[in-house]
Amino acid sequence: MSHLIAPSILTASFLELGKEIDMINKSEADWIHLDIMDGVFVPNLTFGFHVIRQMRKITDKPLDTHLMIVEPEKHLEEFRKSGVDKLTVHYEACPNLAETVRAIKSLGMSAGVAISPDTPTSVLADILPELDLVLNMTVHPGYGAQKFIKHSWEKIRQLRQMIDNSGSNAIIQIDGGVGLGNIGGLRDAGVDCFVVGNTIFASDDPYETITQLKSL
């Protein structure tokens, strides 16, 4: 499988969101990554169902939704109804992780679990066979345009081994600090899907940057 690119709209222009989505539609991007923040699990706040529903109307790309919220289990159905295809919850925010993952799948969405940079990969050992995606955060969740955390390299190698050894079908996604300079090495280390925000939206030609990120 060639690697996937999921542009994060966190640093896109929200005044021109329609145009930004249109650019992604025409590009080689595979998914659109939506960062949902609640000001509790992370210090920042973003957007909710109303914006997702509007985006759903103007794109056929899968909406890959990263919940940085406490009590995500309360909102799973509403995310599905808003048009979300892939839903990722944080390990650190889910007291009943297995139950939450099963609920996501029973609603017909792909299920992902994210771990923050200070959370060890070993916490995912039991749940791995049930997951479609593991999101290893490569920055502390909350803001775009941060620096890639170096110890992530080791965690990616560990996750690759854990998944290969367990026979899980989960893909490895990383999120934060990905750019043209490190994406090749990260692909070689075993990453399947790259969330990329600032590198795309702060570039002079976001469409062309997506092409470059895809063509390793």
Mind telling me the catalytic residues? 35, 175
CA distance 59 to 31: 10
CA distance 189 to 181: 14
CA distance 195 to 4: 9
User: Are the beta carbons of 9 and 27 closer than 8 angstroms?
Assistant: no
With binding defined as CB under 6 A, does residue 196 bind ligand DX5? yes
How many CA atoms lie less than 13 Å away from 139 in the CB half-sphere? 18
With binding defined as CB under 5 A, does residue 175 bind Zn ion? yes
Residue 53, φ and ψ in degrees, nearest 5: -60, -40
Amino acid at the residue 188: D
Closest approach of Zn ion to the CB of residue 163, in Å: 20
Among 3, 11, 21, 170, binds ligand DX5 (CB under 6 A): 11
Residue numbers 43-102 binding ligand DX5 by CB under 6 A: 66
Closest approach of ligand DX5 to the CB of residue 147, in Å: 8
Residue numbers 23-42 binding ligand DX5 by CB under 6 A: 33, 35
Mutual angle of helices 17-26 and 49-56, in 10-degree steps: 40
Phi-psi map region of 108: left, alpha, beta (phi>0 left; psi -120 to 50 alpha): left
With binding defined as CB under 5 A, does residue 38 bind Zn ion? no
The piece of 33-41, 143-151, 160-168, 183-191 that touches Zn ion (CB under 5 A) is: 33-41
Nearer Cβ to ligand DX5 (3/33): 33
State the residues that interact with Zn ion by CB under 5 A.
35, 66, 175
State the residues that interact with ligand DX5 by CB under 6 A.
8, 10-11, 33, 35, 66, 139, 141-142, 144-146, 175-178, 195-199
